[in-house]
Amino acid sequence: MIEPWPTAWSRFVYRRLHHEPYDEAAREWTLPSGGPLSAANGALPWIVLSRDRRRFQQSCPELEVILLQPIMPFRYLLSGGVSLRGLMPSSSTGFWRGVERALAPASAVLGMFVFAIVRKRGSR
């Protein structure tokens, strides 16, 4: 899965520039009613897979979290993401890929998403 993830940079973006709610303090795992791409809590993947990991493991003992790797999607942001007009020409994709690779060691601070692997126990 590629999911929103809290870091110093992403908190700024999700709270000030993003259209969906982002509430790390939410106590429940439920989604409020609303239309697609408008009502989900962007912090929910972090809440379930990290903050409430023990609760997740108790609720879903057949599943195990294998990997949570923060990643920096500068190309995603510059492309306009899901709902905005792109800010970069497609010819600059290679340049931005290099920027992401060079900054990969700082993903825990600069990332916006997490690459998460959750699998059924006993499967490969």
Residue-range definition of the domain harbouring residue 20:
2-120
- Across all residues in the chain, what is the average pLDDT? 87
Rounded CA-CA distance 21/14 in Å is: 8
Higher-pLDDT residue of 90 and 104 is 104
What pLDDT, on the 0 to 100 scale, is given for residue 34?
A: 65
Number of domains in the chain: 1
In the block, residue with structure tokens 């929910």: 44
Rounded CA-CA distance 25/27 in Å is: 6
47, amino acid identity: I
Rounded CA-CA distance 21/82 in Å is: 15
What pLDDT, on the 0 to 100 scale, is given for residue 86?
A: 73
